């Protein structure tokens, strides 16, 4: 951390600086008919508020940002599910040349839950660095590294470090077609060995996306993502005579492998009104998560989910009525078909909200 701060200071001290303070806020209301995404539907209204602040110091060579993010999810009926999230961070964008730039950052996050869910409180320290190089105005290559340390205050059993390296290529063509290809290799290392050699997991992630303009202010985008677990590990604990797996509690990205594909449609009706619709299908294999019946008996070696999703979002810029104000309306539907009866479910989520920047 000390080295990163020294690098930031050297770049800042060598140039003429310009400073700017930014504050933004959000307020959203969600109507969710299945808040736990399970066969036992529990519905609720959720109110999300967020207040974010940033202080930017910029020059002709770099932009340094110190920021703070705060958000709260309040559940109207299931109050114990409510949570509060905070993040403090430092980010720097260094322009090394006309073709290349270096991005560095570090942040610290805290999530606090309520009632019995305080058992799942955690903190995270994250650092990253990536280099972006432009071969031309249309071809850009980005490579980088991300490190996260996840500390579960009440369950050191689950605390872990995640290392991720990635490479991403973006290109655009005269046919108004865009292409993005990326690959990432991630490793999760548990802090507590517990005498178990299976304390680490590795995952390969491949991603491809093609976008095409089909008319004025209208576009289509198609993507495909493949996740492959090179090695796997999971952990569990018993609470109130019930066995809980980490994969179920935190929806960990290492918990499953498979593929996901989707297509999205975007339309700008005017400079202030836009619509986006998306259709997604995924198949996930939870090979470390056995399927149990409601009596606790194992009926299948691993859980397999096939999920279909559809969503529509409308965005409206309201700056003509009130400066820096925008509104969003969303509707999302999920259908999850699983060999685990507990995870056979449908979910509909409707949300509406306002964003405001000071």
Distance CA 220, CA 275 (A): 12
Label each residue of 79-106 as H, E or C.
HHHCEEEEEEEEEEEEECCCCEEEEEEE
DSSP 8-state code for residue 32: E
pLDDT band at 56 (very low <50, low <70, confident <90, very high): very high
pLDDT above 90 for 190: no
- The share of the chain scoring above pLDDT 90, in percent, equals 69
pLDDT band at 197 (very low <50, low <70, confident <90, very high): very low
pLDDT top residue among 18 and 279 = 279
Please give the pLDDT value at position 16. 55
Contact 81, 98 (CB under 8 A): no
pLDDT above 70 for 52: yes
pLDDT above 70 for 240: no
The beta-strand segments (E) located in the chain are 18-32, 44-58, 62-75, 83-95, 100-113, 122-134, 139-152, 160-172, 177-190, 200-215, 218-231, 236-239, 242-245, 257-268, 273-286, 291-292, 298-300, 303-317, 325-338, 345-357
Residue 205: beta bridge partners? 184, 227
Average pLDDT over residues 257-273: 96
Contact 161, 189 (CB under 8 A): yes
pLDDT above 60 for 13: no
- Other Cβ atoms less than 10 A from the Cβ of 20: the count is 11
Please give the pLDDT value at position 198. 58
Contact 311, 317 (CB under 8 A): no
pLDDT above 50 for 297: yes
pLDDT top residue among 256 and 231 = 256
Please give the pLDDT value at position 184. 98
For 35-46, the pLDDT digits (tens) are 999 999 999 999
Please give the pLDDT value at position 347. 97
Distance CA 79, CA 160 (A): 29
Chain-wide mean pLDDT for the chain?
A: 89
| Helix (H) or strand (E) run with residue 247 in it | helix 246-250
For 84-136, the pLDDT digits (tens) are 999 999 999 999 999 999 999 999 999 998 887 887 889 999 999 999 999 99
Average pLDDT over residues 305-330: 95
3: left (phi over 0), alpha (psi -120 to 50) or beta: alpha
pLDDT above 90 for 248: no
pLDDT band at 7 (very low <50, low <70, confident <90, very high): very low
Average pLDDT over residues 324-331: 96
pLDDT above 60 for 5: no
Please give the pLDDT value at position 119. 76
Please give the pLDDT value at position 195. 56
Please give the pLDDT value at position 61. 87
Of 65-74, 106-115, 154-163, 199-208, the range with the lowest mean pLDDT is: 154-163
| Helix (H) or strand (E) run with residue 7 in it | helix 2-13
Average pLDDT over residues 215-223: 96
For 300-310, the pLDDT digits (tens) are 889 999 999 99
Average pLDDT over residues 225-236: 84
pLDDT top residue among 127 and 233 = 127
């Amino acid at each position: 951390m000390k080295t990163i701060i020294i690098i930031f200071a050297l770049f800042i001290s060598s140039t003429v600086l310009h400073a700017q303070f930014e504050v933004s806020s959000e307020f959203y209301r969600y109507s969710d008919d299945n808040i736990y995404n399970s066969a036992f539907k529990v519905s609720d209204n959720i109110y999300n508020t967020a207040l974010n602040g940033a202080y930017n110091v910029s020059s002709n060579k770099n932009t340094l940002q110190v920021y703070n993010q705060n958000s709260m999810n309040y559940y109207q009926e299931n109050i114990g599910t409510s949570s509060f999230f905070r993040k403090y961070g430092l980010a720097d964008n260094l322009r090394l040349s006309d073709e290349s730039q270096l991005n560095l950052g570090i942040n610290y996050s805290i999530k606090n839950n309520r009632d019995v869910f305080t058992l799942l409180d955690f903190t995270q320290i994250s650092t990253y660095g990536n280099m972006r190089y432009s071969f031309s105005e249309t071809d850009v290559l980005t490579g980088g590294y991300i490190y996260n340390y996840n500390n579960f205050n009440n369950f050191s059993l689950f605390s872990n470090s995640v290392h991720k390296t990635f490479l991403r290529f973006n290109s655009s063509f005269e046919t108004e077609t865009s292409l993005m290809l990326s690959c990432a290799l991630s490793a999760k290392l548990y802090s507590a060995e517990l005498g178990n050699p299976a304390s680490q997991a590795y995952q390969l992630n491949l991603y491809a996306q093609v976008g095409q303009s089909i008319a004025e202010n209208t576009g289509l985008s198609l993507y495909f993502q493949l996740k492959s677990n090179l090695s796997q590990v999971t952990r569990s604990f018993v609470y109130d005579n019930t066995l809980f797996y980490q994969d179920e509690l935190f929806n960990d990205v290492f918990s499953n492998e498979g593929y996901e594909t989707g297509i999205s449609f975007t339309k700008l009706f005017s400079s202030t009104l836009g619509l986006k619709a998306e259709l997604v299908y995924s198949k996930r294999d939870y090979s470390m998560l056995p399927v149990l019946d409601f009596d606790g008996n194992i009926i299948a070696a691993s859980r397999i989910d096939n999920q279909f999703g559809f969503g529509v979002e409308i965005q409206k810029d309201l700056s003509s009525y009130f400066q820096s104000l925008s509104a969003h309306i969303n509707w999302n539907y999920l259908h999850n078909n699983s060999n685990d009866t507990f995870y056979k479910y449908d979910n509909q989520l409707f949300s509406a909200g306002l964003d405001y920047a000071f």
